[in-house]
Structure 1
Amino acid sequence: MSDWLFDLGNSRFKAAPWQADGGIGTILAWPHGAEALVAGDDSQGPLPRGRRAWVASVAAPALTEQLLARLRERFDEVHVAHTRAECAGVRVAYARPERLGVDRFLALLGARALGGDALVAGVGTALTVDLLDAGGVHHGGRIAASPTLMRQALHARAAQLPAAGGRYAEFADDTDDALASGCMGAAVALIERSLREAAQRLGREPVLLLHGGGAPELLPWLPQARLRPALVLEGLALWAQVAGAD
């Protein structure tokens, strides 16, 4: 009977076994989220079973509760991660730590374990950017719409603008390409500005860590970045170590 880590986002659902050495095993991903799973549809793959489930969720409360109910049927214990003011060597900048999304918090824990200064950029439904120094001090961050959400918002207001498609170009000569270039370019520009500001604040340039489902799409335009697709799950494993020891 094993322990499992679960990361429920607004658009993707991931899980991985938590190994005895503290690492994570092979990641399972349900790219269309958890709605089908909570309805009992295992066509994308069944939910695992085990001893303890450790869960991080930024999804709507109703969906989170539905998922927790299913997990309680399959695990002896279910534990839900929450943001803490201090944890695993990280000190959160927020005066009200509970207002920092648990996905951002766990990504900071994962970044702290890697060592050094880090600018942590998560690309999912939202684009989040957080600065963590080598001492574990969180300097705050930003939240913006991700390129995917920008496209969807434009399409919702102007249906003639497609919600997907196009290729990046610095000066596009086609509407689809212009949309892709503008939305991806806005995300890249925000991250690049955050890197410059972070270097000014710290007096040295941090490592750029990219995670989230939309991170690979931005990677070609941020060649200095390190892709860490499982950063939230890595942080959740650290949170579980601390919570399990309490």
Structure 2
Amino acid sequence: MTQDWLFDFGNTRLKCAPLGDDGVPGAVRAFAPSEFDALPSGGVAFVASVASEDARVQLLDALSRKFRRVCIARTSARLDGLRIAYATPHKLGVDRFLAMIGARDAWPSLVVGVGTGLTIDLVDREGRHHGGRIAPSPTLMREMLHARATQLAPIGGAYVEFADDTEDALVSGCEGAAIALIERSLAEATRRLGVAPRVLLHGGGADPLRMHLPDAESRPGLVLEGLAHWATLERTA
């Protein structure tokens, strides 16, 4: 029996995992966009992509040569209890949609993705999506500052509350801005729901923020977990 695989293609990297018979992703592998020839092969490739159109086409072309069928996940207004807030479903990124599906065992939850962007979505206990926020991630903030003022280093430094050198001030300001946005979102979510939701962090830039959010939980595979559930529903439809 050929193996089905899950592919989560973001703006900076591609993650994939085999889809288990139990509907759970297996061990995750990560690839650079230049490594499409090294991708696994199998039966059905289930794909979630927020990458550029050119990059997405390159990936789909590579997968079409390695898999019997390629199935692309898309945002829908409702899925297995989740009801999104967007009136136009396709405007909600499929990664955010799938992360909320992946978090269904933890509703009510504040789902925070930290990649190229910082995304925050609130889902209540009944699966109603109350909307969210999008901002630059700390990494992107640093890169944008460096692009406009090259003397400001894009990496380096350590987080402190009041820095006494530029590198520390940069990392503290950029990470602090993200932390403050999450904390404000949590406060508003708690006021709105009448109960504090669980804060779930995922994405490549989540770990540095988690150190300053003691009640947050690390759920690095949320998008793949959601994609696995979506794929399981597709296979049984």
Q: TM-score range by the shorter chain?
A: over 0.9
Task: Work out whether 1:133 is the aligned partner of 2:124.
Answer: yes
- Between the two proteins, what is the percent identity of the paired residues? 57
1:37 to 35, 38, 41: 35
Displacement after TM superposition at 1:183 (Å): 0.1
For residue 48 of structure 2, the aligned residue among 38, 48, 56 is 56
Instruction: Trace 1:80-95 onto structure 2 (pairs within 5 A).
Output: 80-95=72-87
Distance 1:180 1:216 in 2: 14
What SS does structure 2 have at the residue aligned with 1:2?
coil
- The answer to whether the 8 Å contact 2:106/2:198 transfers is no
Q: Select 2:209's aligned residue among 209, 218, 237.
A: 218
Amino acid of the residue matched to residue 76 of structure 1? Answer: R
Kindly provide the CA deviation profile for residues 177-214 of structure 1, in whole angstroms up to 9, marking residues without a partner as x: 00000000000000000000000000000000000000
Deviation at 1:245, TM superposition (A): 2.6
Out of 136, 142, 156, the position equivalent to 2:133 is 142
Structure 2 unaligned spans of 5+: none
User: Contact 1:87 / 1:242 at 8 angstroms: preserved in 2?
Assistant: no
- Provide Cα deviations, 1:98-127, integer angstroms capped at 9, x if missing partner: 100000000000011x13310000000000
- Give 1:243's aligned residue: 234
Aligned to 2:190: 199
Deviations, residues 156-195 of structure 1 (Å, cap 9, x unaligned): 0000000011000000000000000000000000000000
Q: What is the Cα deviation at residue 12 of structure 1?
A: 1.6
Counterpart in 2 of 1:43?
Answer: none
Tell me the secondary structure at the aligned position of residue 7 of structure 1. strand
Paired letter, 1:7: D
Name structure 1 gaps, 5 residues minimum. Answer: 41-45
1:68 aligns with 2:60: yes
| Equivalent residue number for residue 228 of structure 1 | 219
Residue number among 146, 171, 177 corresponding to 1:180 in the alignment: 171
Provide, for residues 187-246 of structure 1, a one-character-per-residue CA deviation record: whole Å limited to 9, x for no partner.
000000000000000000000000000001111001111100100000001111222233
What is the aligned-residue RMSD (CA, Å)?
Answer: 0.8
Question: Would the aligned equivalents of 1:172 and 1:181 in 2 still touch at CA under 8 Å?
Answer: yes
What letter is aligned with 1:37?
E
- 1:60 maps to a residue whose letter is S
d(CA) in 2 for partners of 1:213, 1:240:
23
Q: Does 2:181 match 1:190? A: yes
- The TM-score with structure 1 as length reference comes to 0.94
Number of equivalent positions: 236
1:39-96 per-residue CA deviation (whole Å, 9 max, x = no partner) reads: x4xxxxx211110100000000111011001001111010010000001210000000
Q: TM-score, normalised by structure 2?
A: 0.98
